[in-house]
């Protein structure tokens, strides 16, 4: 709604208000009086309409005009309220992040404790394999008393050492995009697993637990996470990144910039997965696609018996 400052009538649009000001006799009369008055008064305060004949007095008044001061005070108070709300929202978001970090820390401590705690065998039960995923201990009695006969698979414990020892690892880091690294990582993972059920994404791999090779049945996502979950892998990528940044210096040609950008992207992806223990679709999607397209299938019974 728009209101006429001369007669206080209200109108639904600015155009209607402007038409009214140009045609209403009462408002035209007031406007003429004001215009003639202003022309006679050299200086008029725009805040309180007080009149002055000398500029110096006008300037002194404007600095201390109560209406102006009150307007400025109200504006500042409004801005202060807005800033307070923004500050409270930021504090709330930070508190939420702290809670999330504490939960991740607890999960990490639980995982470390589970990994370092010696396994206890219950004499009343047969041998059962205990697999640990994301801090949750899951006991699987499906493979009691079997001989592990998946000898052609290397142990997942050696995956990172195997990956970083090959020349292609560094070559894949220094490429125009991260696809080459993901392809190299996927190809190496393909050597460490069998699909037992592609439709459900179930895989079988081998891991050294208590210095004994154990067959582990898992989902593809858990297998991928188990393979890359190593601070050493992240450290190797970081060291390579630091060396390359120092080597290229201020080079800003298009090829170098693309490679630096891809390397930074790879590091950020792996940092999310390894340090923050979070799923990153930029890692999982290409690796899953490669393994789904190229992964080897082996019947579960044939692999285990």
Can you tell me the mean pLDDT for 287-302?
86
Whole-structure pTM value: 0.51
Query: Lowest mean pLDDT: which of 1-10, 115-124, 251-260?
Result: 115-124
- Residue 248 Cα distances to 169, 170, 178, 259, angstroms: 19, 16, 19, 11
Residue 224 has pLDDT above 80, yes or no: yes
Question: Please, which residues bridge with residue 207 across strands?
Answer: 214
- CA-based R_g, the chain, Å: 36
User: Is the distance from CB of 10 to CB of 2 less than 8 angstroms?
Assistant: yes
Confidence band for 105, pLDDT divided at 50, 70 and 90: confident
Considering Cα of 88, then 92, then 98, then 101, what sign does the dihedral take? Answer: negative
| pLDDT confidence of residue 34 | 75
- What's the pLDDT tens digit per position in 19-71? 888 888 888 888 887 776 655 567 788 888 888 778 888 888 888 888 888 88
Can you tell me the mean pLDDT for 280-299?
90
Select the more confidently predicted residue: 27 or 159.
159
Residue 239 has pLDDT above 70, yes or no: yes
- What's the pLDDT tens digit per position in 115-149? 554 433 333 333 333 343 333 333 343 333 334 45
User: Is the distance from CB of 42 to CB of 57 less than 8 angstroms?
Assistant: no
Confidence band for 168, pLDDT divided at 50, 70 and 90: very high
Question: Please, which residues bridge with residue 195 across strands?
Answer: 203, 297
Percent of the chain, pLDDT > 90? 27
Residue 201 has a CB neighbour count (10 Å cut-off) of 18
Confidence band for 277, pLDDT divided at 50, 70 and 90: confident
Confidence band for 302, pLDDT divided at 50, 70 and 90: low
Residue 159 has a CB neighbour count (10 Å cut-off) of 23
| pLDDT confidence of residue 289 | 93
Q: What mean pLDDT value characterizes the chain? A: 80
- Of residues 221, 256, 246, 252, the one with CA closest to residue 133: 221
């Amino acid at each position: 709604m728009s209101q006429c400052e001369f007669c206080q009538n209200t109108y639904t649009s600015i155009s209607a208000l402007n038409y009214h000001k140009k045609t209403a006799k009462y408002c035209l009369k007031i406007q003429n009086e004001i215009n003639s008055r202003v022309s006679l008064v050299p200086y008029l305060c725009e805040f309180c309409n007080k009149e002055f004949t000398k500029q110096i007095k006008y300037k002194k008044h404007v600095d201390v005009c109560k209406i102006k001061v009150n307007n400025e005070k109200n504006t500042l108070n409004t801005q202060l309220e807005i800033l307070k709300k923004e500050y409270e929202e930021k504090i709330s978001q930070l508190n939420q992040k702290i809670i999330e970090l504490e939960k991740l820390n607890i999960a990490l401590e639980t995982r470390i404790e589970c990994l370092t705690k010696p396994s206890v065998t219950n004499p009343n039960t047969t041998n059962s394999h205990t697999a640990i995923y994301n801090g949750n201990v899951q006991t699987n009695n499906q493979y009691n008393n079997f001989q592990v006969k998946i000898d052609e698979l290397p142990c997942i414990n050696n995956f990172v050492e195997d990956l970083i020892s090959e020349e292609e690892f560094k070559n894949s880091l220094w490429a125009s995009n991260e696809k080459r690294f993901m392809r190299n990582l996927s190809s190496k993972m393909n050597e460490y697993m069998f699909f037992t059920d592609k439709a459900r994404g179930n895989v079988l791999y081998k891991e050294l637990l208590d210095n004994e090779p154990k067959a582990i049945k898992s989902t593809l996502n858990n297998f991928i996470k188990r393979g890359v979950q190593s601070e050493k892998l992240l450290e190797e990528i970081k060291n390579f990144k630091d060396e390359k940044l120092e080597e290229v210096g201020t080079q800003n040609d298009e090829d170098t910039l693309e490679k630096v950008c891809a390397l930074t992207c790879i590091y950020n992806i792996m940092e999310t997965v390894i340090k923050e223990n979070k799923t990153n679709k930029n890692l999982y999607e290409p690796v899953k696609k490669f393994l789904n397209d190229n992964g080897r299938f082996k019947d579960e019974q044939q692999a285990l018996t």
